[in-house]
Amino acid sequence: MTKRRNFIKKSAMAFGAVTILPNHVVFGKKPIYNSKGEVVKKGTVLPNDKVNMGFCGIGNRGGQIFNEFVKTGMVNVAVFCDTDMGAEHTLKNLEAFPDVPRFQDFRKMLDSTAGDLDGVCIGTPDFSHFPIAMLAMSLGKNVYVEKPLSRTFEESELLMDAAKRHNVITQMGNQGHSGENYFQFKSWVENGIIKDVTKVTAHMNGRRRWHGWDTSMKQFPEAQNMPDTLDWDTWLGTAKHHGYHEDFINGQWRCWYDFGMGALGDWGAHIMDTMHQFLDLGLPSVIDPVKIEGHNLLFYPQASTIDFKFPKRKKMPPLTISWYDGMNNIPEIPEGYGKSELDPNIPAASNGKIKPNKLNPGKIIYSKDLTFKGGTHSSPLSIIPEEAAKDMAPKLPVVPESPSNHFENFALACRGEETTRSPFEISAPLSQVFCLGTIAQRLNTKLKFDRKKKRITNNELANQLLVGAPPRKEWEEFYKL
């Protein structure tokens, strides 16, 4: 790609100085403008060129994301990085692309290949998103980061700031943000169909990995012998030291406060995303764990009900989102709700199965005049009960179709042809809502949050957890990039 850019530049010069080519023609920096005519992002790849991408995390969910990028036809697989290159879940992609360079440490990967990369895809455990994204952005690389963006409130704050300072293209992987629900929700708000919302129920009642664990546990499991192929120190990254255990890896990291974000971080980004953006929610003023079943200081509860209270925003009234997780912690269902459909867009679990639940993941939105039912990911909303839906049918606007899926959207943004729909300035505040929720779960206490100063005002320990534990020695640099 560098040779091609140099060739174009030299060719333009060879034809004399009669025509001065704009910067985006010579260097692939095609500007993208906002409604005021200001340049908001710049492409980094010539239109129609493929995007050279490095992939951090190539097994399990990371492997699914990798394959979705390959399907776009707009990406060159430039380099692989995974802390366990011998694991069964990584071998399939390694064997399919045997000539792609591979690394176990993202620092070495970026040190060796950064000059050849346009973007980095990060499909690793929640707690390790931050250091990889910060280093990549500091080197001027565009980043696609699977949801949730980070494990702590402060890390999301730093990621937002770094994206702006380094002027890179960013996308969080809440894939429904490029699907039907995104465009429908946006259109229905703009056309006054969704308005005066005061209450939302968001629910994910499927079985989680930690359900059934001993909630009297007071210490982490004892260390085991680790696989010879695993770089455990790099896997731990900024997290405090833990001895290796199988209940920390391959998705099990979701269970623990030290590594994951539980059901809320895992599913909230697919359920609350459009309402958070288009109802201009920002950050809550109160986070109230009204029900915590099976509380433990190490891992997530067996069931939670958390009320997130958002104040009045411009002309919109105060709103409460009630989050429900836990297999039997089913929210109240309004009359006329109908059947609970399972969203066909949900990616399969690592075992290849998605099981129907008593109530499938989704949301119920209560406004002054109408009630809406929605699923997760790209599932569109419907008006309930059926009689109300029939009355509203002639008044509903035509919803535009999505021009690209979430992966295509990122690649096209790197080429200067679209803007990303879930950049950090939109997705980081959403992730911060989840971070506040997990603090309330962890401490099992009601929190009051100052939205302007971004601090918890009624609990000093909770306020310290906005930042979290200090990074391990020699991992501090990522908080300064």
Amino acid occupying residue 200: V
Give domain status of residue 99, yes or no: no
Domain region containing 17: 2-36
Give the chain's domain count: 2
Q: Which of 29-33, 53-57, 123-127, 225-229 shows the lowest mean pLDDT across its residues?
A: 29-33
CATH number at residue 299: 3.30.360
Tell me the average pLDDT across 170-179: 97
Query: Residue 45: what pLDDT?
Result: 82
Q: Is the peptide bond before 148 cis (omega within 30 degrees of 0)?
A: yes
Residue 332 in any domain: the answer is yes
Answer whether residue 419 is part of any domain: no
Q: CA 78 to CA 60: how far, in whole Å? A: 20
Q: Is 37 exposed, middle or buried (0-12, 13-18, 19+ CB in 10 A)?
A: exposed
Q: What is each CA distance from 36 to 65, 146, 262, in whole angstroms?
A: 34, 31, 40
User: For 15-171, where are the alpha helices, taking DSSP H only?
Assistant: 23-27, 60-71, 88-96, 106-113, 129-138, 153-166
Listed in sequence order, the residues at least 6 apart from 38 whose beta carbon sits closer than 8 Å to its beta carbon are none
Q: Percent of the chain scored above 90 by pLDDT?
A: 85
Q: What is the per-residue pLDDT across 207-224, written as a single tens digit (0 to 9) for each?
A: 999 999 999 999 999 999
The residue whose two tokens read 């399919």 is: 96
Contact (Cβ atoms closer than 8 angstroms) between residue 395 and residue 193:
yes
Q: Is 295 domain-assigned?
A: yes
- pLDDT for position 43: 66
394 part of a folded domain: yes
Whole-angstrom Cα distance, residue 321 to residue 309? Answer: 7
Q: What is the pLDDT of residue 164?
A: 97
Do the Cβ atoms of 272 and 430 come closer than 8 Å? yes
Give 343-401 pLDDT, tens digit per residue: 666 665 554 454 555 789 999 999 999 999 999 999 999 999 999 999 999 999 999 99
Residue 375 covered by a domain: yes
Strand-strand pairing, 286-293 and 197-204: unpaired
| Residue pair 268/202 in contact by the 8 Å Cβ criterion | yes
Residue 283 domain-assigned (yes or no) = yes
What six digits make up the tokens of 435?
């971070």
- CB under 8 Å to 327, separation ≥6 — which residues? 205, 206, 207, 211, 303, 357, 358
Average pLDDT over residues 98-110: 97
Q: Strand 286-293 and strand 303-310: pairing?
A: antiparallel
Which H or E element spans position 292? Answer: strand 286-293
The band of 469, judged by pLDDT with boundaries at 50, 70 and 90, is very high
* Type of residue at 145: V
Residue 301's nearest CA partner among 311, 309, 291, 310 is 291
The average pLDDT across 310-337 equals: 96
Rg over CA atoms, the chain: 23
DSSP string covering 122-153 = E-S-GGGHHHHHHHHHHTT-EEEEESSS-SSH
Write out pLDDT tens, residues 385-436.
Answer: 999 999 999 999 999 999 999 999 999 999 999 999 999 999 999 999 999 9
- Whether residue 149 lies inside any domain: the answer is no
